[in-house]
Amino acid sequence: MEIFGVPLQAMMSQLLLGLVNGSFYAMLSLGLAVIFGLLNVINFSHGALYMMGAFAAFIGVTSFGLNYWMMLVLAPLLVGVFGILVEKTMLRWLYKLDHLYGLLLTFGITLLLEGVFRSFFGVSGQTLDVPEALSGATDLGFMILPNYRAWVVAASLTVCLVTWFVIEKTRLGAYLRAGTENPKLVEAFGVNVPLMVTLTYGFGVALAGFAGVLAAPVINVTPLMGSNLIIVVFAVVVIGGMGSILGSIVTGLGLGVIEGLTRVYYPEASEVVVFVVMVIVLLLRPAGLFGKEK
């Protein structure tokens, strides 16, 4: 069976690859949106922290004899703690200033982290083995589904939806949303807003670390893997706007799929298709698909 001259099998595997990439876009842009909502900081270092998560998993497995599943919990925790330290010692001094300083600081942190990992691991890639339970593939009849990729999509979707549920439907999320609207008033009700800000940043970057661990077995783990991704994620954020949690998830996945389809029909454009979509969205709907301009 063929779809517009492309065999179904090839089509499906590219779509799945698109969904895998899309899950990373979704998780990262979700983290960026949550952080931006409360801190008004665009976290450039999000990509570097994703890289850190992947390296943490790699180091944990190869040097400390831990397994993938332990690192899936430990690495995001490590990245989250690192984020909390960054927030406590540096970011916090910039909240009263123009947004651009937060971007510049996190950009500097990105260069710093990349530089440190480069001096230890060089620029060549490392690979992490797929955990045993998820190796192999399942024959679905119309396609061969690599188990690990299915797991990546399922795990990230679950994490994204749980995040959405917590923010939109629980009491904690209500505090968070209120803090986004008017932090002073929330503080007057006795909520410890600075603590909430710190934990939000920690959670946001932990999401990036989690994405990094998920990515480690499917892509080359290199010090530069994060910054190549973060620029695409920025375009995703521009397309979706940061006003809506569900919006960032949908936009991230959707763009991953579009990228996958482009790789089937016009591979030369697959690197830039997200940027092209961004240009189109800017022309037609400048505020972004789900945007409320702040």
Rg of the Cα trace of the chain? 19
Decide if residue 258 touches another protein (CB under 8 A): no
Beta strands in the chain (DSSP E): 2-3, 6-7, 137-139, 144-146
Q: Is 128 left (phi over 0), alpha (psi -120 to 50) or beta?
A: beta
Q: Which of 8, 116, 137, 185 binds another protein (CB under 8 A)?
A: 116
Decide if residue 15 touches another protein (CB under 8 A): no
Closer to another protein at the Cβ: 13 or 251?
251
Decide if residue 101 touches another protein (CB under 8 A): yes
Q: Which of 63, 96, 119, 190 binds another protein (CB under 8 A)?
A: 119
Shortest distance, position 13 Cβ to another protein, whole Å: 24
Task: Mark 176-199 as b/e (b = at least 16 C-beta within 10 Å).
Answer: bebbbeebeebeeeeeebeebbbb
Q: Which residues pair with residue 126 across a beta bridge?
A: 221
Part in contact with another protein (CB under 8 A); list of ranges 3-11, 115-123, 127-135, 214-222: 115-123
Decide if residue 84 touches another protein (CB under 8 A): no
Q: How is residue 135 annotated by DSSP? A: -
Decide if residue 237 touches another protein (CB under 8 A): yes
Q: Which of 13, 14, 29, 110 binds another protein (CB under 8 A)?
A: 110
- CA–CA gap between residue 113 and residue 82 (Å, rounded): 11
Shortest distance, position 229 Cβ to another protein, whole Å: 11
Decide if residue 125 touches another protein (CB under 8 A): no
Shortest distance, position 125 Cβ to another protein, whole Å: 17
- CA–CA gap between residue 235 and residue 260 (Å, rounded): 16
Decide if residue 97 touches another protein (CB under 8 A): yes
Shortest distance, position 215 Cβ to another protein, whole Å: 20
Decide if residue 289 touches another protein (CB under 8 A): no
Q: Are 269 and 219 in contact (CB under 8 A)?
A: no
Decide if residue 283 touches another protein (CB under 8 A): yes
**Total site size for another protein, rule CB under 8 A:** 45
Q: Are 244 and 290 in contact (CB under 8 A)?
A: yes
Q: How many CB atoms lie within 10 A of CB 251?
A: 28
Decide if residue 157 touches another protein (CB under 8 A): no
Q: What are phi and psi of 3, to 5 degrees?
A: -120, 115
Query: How far from 164 is each of 26, 29, 176, CA to CA, in Å?
Result: 12, 13, 12
Among candidate residues 199, 197, 144, 152, the one with its CA nearest the CA of residue 25: 152
Decide if residue 234 touches another protein (CB under 8 A): yes
- Work out the burial of residue 1: count CB atoms within 10 Å of its CB; fewer than 13 is exposed, 13-18 middle, 19 or more buried: exposed
Decide if residue 268 touches another protein (CB under 8 A): yes
Closer to another protein at the Cβ: 115 or 136?
115
The mark string for 190-229 relative to another protein (x by CB under 8 A, - otherwise) is: -------------------------------------x--
Interface with another protein (CB under 8 A): 36, 42, 90, 93-94, 97, 99-101, 103-105, 107-116, 118-119, 227, 231-232, 234-235, 237-238, 268, 271-272, 274-276, 278-279, 282-283, 286-287, 293-294
